[in-house]
């Protein structure tokens, strides 16, 4: 994370992926600390997940993200003269994503940030947009991902035809053209801990300062 990244937290600036992923990472760390490093209730994807999932071929490519949710470590060795010279591992979670209650999915729509929440317990996908828009294509891709994830990780055919789709409208709304990223992060933050969405546009400047303070503290 650079000074340029942190500068996107200034009032009136658009958040970039680095600052969003830093903040999402602190939420994930908090959740892992809460569960003692075992099985969290909430999984957080970073901002690159949807881009990888939806940019290939027909606009959907499960194989591009299949290994993102590998639960166990898979080590590889490179050998020279029969001796291992390099070891590396695939991305692993260390837990079973399908046992989580919710999956938080931040989405960058080019010039706008939105949030999707996959709720396994409620069998529902919720879409949060501080401008009250919707993205049916994204929701369909996430439902398709749920089916593919069950098939790949559990070898079970799980249909999402009965799942509901919710696009809440009674949510905090942005009143300018630059705070969508902060709204998206606070949706994720509040939903992850089970709190009602009680913040407002007037709180955005404080939230920006708080994120910068957290970044500076972690960097020290």
Q: Tens digit of pLDDT for each residue in 82-108?
A: 454 444 444 467 899 999 999 999 999
CATH class belonging to 3-219: alpha beta
Is residue 197 within 8 Å of 158, Cβ to Cβ? no
Long-range contacts of the stretch 207-215 (C-beta < 8 A, 24+) = 207/182, 208/9, 208/10, 208/11, 208/182, 209/9, 211/9, 211/19, 211/22, 211/23, 211/182, 211/185, 212/6, 212/9, 214/23, 214/26, 215/1, 215/6, 215/9, 215/19, 215/22
Q: What pLDDT is stored for residue 80 in this prediction?
A: 46
pLDDT for residue 87:
45
Tens digits of residue pLDDT in 114-171: 999 999 999 999 999 999 999 999 999 999 999 999 999 999 999 999 999 999 999 9
Residue 119 to residues 2, 43, 102, 192, 194, Cα–Cα distance (Å): 34, 11, 5, 11, 12
- In this prediction, residues 18-47 reach a mean pLDDT of 95
pTM of structure = 0.88
Catalytic (active-site) positions: 112, 129, 180
**Residue closest to 113 by CA, chosen among 43, 29, 13, 206:** 13
pLDDT at 56: 57
Q: Which residue has the higher pLDDT, 130 or 71?
A: 130
Q: What is the pLDDT of residues 9-26, one digit of tens each?
A: 999 999 999 999 999 999
pLDDT in tens, 177-207: 999 999 999 999 999 999 999 999 999 999 9
pLDDT at 53 over 80: yes
Q: Where do the domains of the chain lie?
A: 3-219
């Amino acid at each position: 994370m650079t000074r340029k990244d942190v500068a996107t937290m200034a009032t009136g600036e658009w958040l970039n992926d680095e600052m969003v992923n830093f903040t999402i990472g602190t939420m994930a760390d908090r959740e892992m600390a809460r569960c003692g490093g075992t099985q969290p209730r909430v999984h957080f994807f970073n901002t690159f997940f949807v881009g990888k999932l939806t940019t290939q071929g027909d606009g959907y490519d499960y194989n591009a993200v299949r290994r993102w949710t590998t639960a166990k470590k898979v080590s590889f060795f490179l050998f020279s003269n029969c001796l291992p010279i390099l070891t590396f591992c695939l991305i692993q979670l260390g837990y079973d994503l399908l046992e989580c209650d919710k999956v938080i999915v931040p989405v960058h729509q080019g010039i706008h940030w939105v949030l999707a929440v996959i709720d396994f317990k409620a069998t529902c996908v919720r879409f949060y947009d501080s401008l009250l828009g919707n993205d049916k294509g994204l929701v369909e891709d996430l439902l398709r991902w749920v089916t593919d994830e069950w098939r790949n990780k559990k070898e079970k055919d799980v249909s999402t035809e009965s799942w509901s789709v919710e696009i809440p409208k009674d949510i905090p709304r942005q009143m300018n053209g630059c705070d969508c990223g902060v709204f998206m992060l606070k949706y994720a933050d509040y939903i992850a801990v089970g709190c009602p969405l009680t913040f407002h546009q007037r709180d955005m400047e404080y939230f920006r300062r708080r994120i910068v303070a957290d970044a500076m503290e972690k960097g020290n």
